[in-house]
Structure 1
Amino acid sequence: MNNWKWNSTYDEAENLDWLILRDGPISKYFSHEILNKDIKSLVNVGYNIIDVNLKNWTISNYQSKMKDAFEFPQYYGENLAAFGDCL
């Protein structure tokens, strides 16, 4: 991941990651156009974006779906502790 630095002269392009992630790792978008623009900008500065579709996830399969989405190793234990270890 890119080493983050704050630019004291406000520049949305340089500080986009901070603006999106300052309140936590989840941001709600109301426009697909803006979301796609921001994804491109984050990729351009070195972020690895993982696109996860939760449509077919269930309580019984979500751990294996996360394993696939995040490309966790085969030994992933499919529990919260293992999830933290693999991140």
Structure 2
Amino acid sequence: MAAFDHDAHLTHQVDYRLMAGGFVTLFWRQTILEETIDWLIAHGYEVVRLDASGWMGEADLHRDFARSLDFPSYYGRNLNALNDCLSDVAVCDYGTSPEATGLVLVLTGYDKFAVRCPEVAQLALDVIADNSRSAILVGHRMCCLVQSDDPNIVFKPVGATAVEWNSAEWLNARRCPE
């Protein structure tokens, strides 16, 4: 299911818009995130939610990824091991169903973790982006939706691609508290 419909750029499908600019997308408003998730679920995507707001360190990230994606018991609980296991998830060895349209990782409260562990937070997104690109090359879609309570959060490019705001909140004015 890697290829999108030839006219996806004209029909502006949600999944196409999310992945066209990169595989990691920022969200601020919870309602827009939930609408996006609902659309993805309705179109056959498997959604895995991870609440990063309580992660105090790298060990918490690894614990939740391992549990949520059924990583093997030998998982090394470091960023290199995360990369290795996500490469297996990308080819549907575990953690996702090959029958699904794709896998969507949803990281909520990620800004709180990024404040506590900025380098790990950045590198984890980079690992996800790299493996999402690999997934699509073998016929499986994979992307990451990153929710932030900080409307001004910025990450360095991941997977050699900038982390951008979703299309509904792309303008700074759309992220001003009401």
Bigger share in helix: 2
Q: So what's the TM-score if we normalise by structure 1?
A: 0.74
Fraction of identical pairs, as percent: 24
- Pick from 35, 46, 49 the counterpart of residue 47 of structure 2: 49
Bigger share in strand: 2
Partner of 2:15: 17
Partner of 1:7: 6
Query: Per-residue CA shift, 1:3-47, capped at 9, x if unaligned?
Result: 3313326213xx221201222222122322221111111122222
Q: Which consecutive residues of structure 2, in runs of 5 or more, have no partner in the other structure?
A: 87-178
Q: For the residues of structure 2 that align with 1:71 and 1:37, how far apart are their CA atoms?
A: 27
Partner of 1:68: 67
CA RMSD of aligned residues (A): 2.1
Residues 29 and 35, structure 1, Cα contact 8 Å, conserved in 2: yes
Give 1:83's aligned amino acid: L
Residues 57 and 65, structure 1, Cα contact 8 Å, conserved in 2: no
Runs of 4+ deviating beyond 4 Å: none
Work out which structure has the larger RCO, using CA pairs closer than 8 Å and 6 or more positions apart in sequence: 2
Q: Which consecutive residues of structure 1, in runs of 5 or more, have no partner in the other structure?
A: none
- Pick from 35, 38, 56 the counterpart of residue 37 of structure 1: 35
